[in-house]
Amino acid sequence: MVEVQNVTKIYGDKKAVDDISFTVNSGEIVGFLGPNGAGKSTTMNIITGYLSSSSGTVTVDGCEILDDPKGVKSKIGYLPEIPPLYTEMTVRKYLGFMYDLKHVKLEKEEHIDEICRLVKIDAVEDRIIKNLSKGYKQRVGLAQALLGNPPVLILDEPTVGLDPKQIIEIRNLVKDLGKKHTVILSSHILSEVQAICDRVLIISNGRIVADSPTADLSKVLGKSGKLRIQVKGGKTSIIDTVSSVKGVKSVKTERELQNGVYEFIVESDSELDVRESVFWKLSEAKLPMLLMQSADPTLEEIFLKLTNDTNYTKQGGGKK
């Protein structure tokens, strides 16, 4: 649906986007993840035709942005980082204007009503945008992007500045939209991308450092076979018991939580699932286990590792 090939954007002597390539398939929800200034917005601005790339091509649904900018633009609904709102207009008037601007062919009043209901702004339709709260402004921006039901939606940090309730609402809305549209969204909040997206592209310093399905990201990049356990009992006896389990390579004491309760990191062969054996061994030894969880790196840790570690950047870039 959206194909980005070797796109580079140079501002003066700074490479904001450095040779990015990726493809987004129809119906996918893809998240751009990266620290501030990584090139997320620039990439989105290039896809939507607001900026031109210094080199490289962008194709949306078969239309190339340089050959057929109107074709590409009519297929994309874009919510920029700052919603492009004419604040002196009422919500209804504004959406009417955007409807005319986009040459939407659907029945005007009906279509605007439908979208207002969808993003839940039907109650503020006749209010002047200037007087709306940040959350409502964001929704009006989203409504604007949805006009004409474009097959591709590009949302630049759609939940920034919203309160937790609104964030959840917008996330659910985006998820719903993902059923009918191809969605590309950006965020610097990992849990958000994890919650909404099918696939994650991690961008750092203008390059893609990782591209994988959300569910696989930690497996692919951070498989360690580590377990975190908390056990009550004597420290040495616990270590002895756990070490005797087949497949366990090492047991490290993390810390003492309270009197007689210790936390350990158990490292094992990654192919072997040692959880059950560890449980039985400890229960046979009458050492009660209070907690067991996978100590695989969280998305946060992977993210920080990818965006900080330059070696990793090179590998990741090469991988793509």
Nearer to other proteins, 63 or 272 (CB): 63
14 closest CA partner among 209, 204, 208, 205: 205
Which residues face 268 on adjacent strands? 248
- Residue 255 CB burial class (10 angstroms; 0-12, 13-18, ≥19): exposed
Nearer to other proteins, 37 or 69 (CB): 69
Please pick, from the candidates 42, 43, 59, 144, the single residue that binds other proteins as defined by CB under 8 A: 144
Contacts of other proteins in 37-96 (CB under 8 A) = 45, 48-52, 69-71, 73-74, 76, 78, 80, 82, 84-89, 93
CB 169 within 8 A of CB 126: no
Residue 127 binding other proteins, by CB under 8 A: no
Nearer to other proteins, 82 or 290 (CB): 82
Interaction pattern, residues 254-273, with other proteins; x per rule: CB under 8 A: --------------------
CA separation for the pair 234, 272 (Å, rounded):
26
Nearer to other proteins, 98 or 231 (CB): 98
Alpha-carbon distances, residue 215 vs 56, 101, 152, 221, 296 (angstroms): 30, 39, 23, 11, 13
Nearer to other proteins, 97 or 280 (CB): 97
Q: In Å, how far from its chain's centre is CA 1?
A: 19
Residues that bind other proteins (CB under 8 A): 11, 45, 48-52, 69-71, 73-74, 76, 78, 80, 82, 84-89, 93, 97-98, 100-103, 144
